[in-house]
């Protein structure tokens, strides 16, 4: 959540509306997508079903940011408390139109986790383009801020 926290800290209306091209998602739409990824990560840590299409996503930036960070923190806490065997037994479960699809937990790394990091980088790039770069001193390598 550290990268996401600083990528989204202090975003303005101008930042949220930024869209690199007519066919691309806006920054706000990208944040909605990251929220869905974080929800899937958290639901997987709880061994809960991930329903598609998404249900009850927040509608404003502050709520999306708060709930995304909360999903990521809760999932990190849960996963860190599990043994290797418990983690290995965990699965990602999707349900669409009453049809369940199950994937090994390890797909979360190449899927939702990698995608969330990728899109968080897009938010950083978008906000640079709008003239609102992230705070100086944010070090994503060590996870500390000067």
Strands (E), the chain: 49-52, 91-96, 99-104, 138-139, 144-145
- Give residue 123's pLDDT: 98
Per-residue pLDDT of the chain (146 residues; tens, 9 = 90+): 999 999 999 999 999 999 999 999 999 999 999 999 999 999 999 999 999 887 778 989 999 999 999 999 999 999 999 998 888 889 999 999 999 999 999 999 999 999 999 999 999 999 999 999 999 999 999 999 98
pLDDT at residue 8 in the model? 98
CATH number of the structural domain spanning residue 21: 1.20.120.450
What residue has token string 């920054």?
27
Q: What is the pLDDT of residue 56?
A: 78
Token pair listed for 45: 């840590």
pLDDT score of 87: 87
Q: What is the pTM of this model?
A: 0.94
Domain boundaries, position 100: 2-145
Using CB atoms within 10 A of its CB, is residue 19 exposed (0-12), middle (13-18) or buried (19+)? middle
Beta pairing, strands 91-96 & 49-52: parallel
Structural domains of the chain, count: 1
């Amino acid at each position: 959540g550290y990268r996401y926290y600083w990528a989204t800290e202090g975003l303005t209306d101008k930042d949220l509306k930024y869209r690199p091209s007519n066919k691309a998602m806006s920054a706000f739409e990208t944040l909605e997508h990251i929220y869905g990824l974080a929800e899937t990560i958290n639901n997987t840590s709880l061994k809960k079903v991930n329903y598609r299409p998404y249900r009850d996503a927040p509608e404003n930036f502050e709520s999306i940011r708060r709930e995304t960070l909360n999903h990521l923190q809760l999932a990190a806490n849960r996963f860190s408390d599990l043994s290797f065997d418990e983690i290995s037994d965990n699965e990602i479960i999707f349900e669409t139109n009453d049809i369940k699809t199950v994937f090994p937990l390890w797909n979360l790394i190449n899927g939702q986790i990698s995608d969330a990091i990728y899109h968080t980088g897009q938010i950083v790039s978008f906000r640079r383009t709008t003239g609102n770069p992230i705070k100086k001193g944010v070090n994503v390598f060590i996870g500390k801020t000067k």
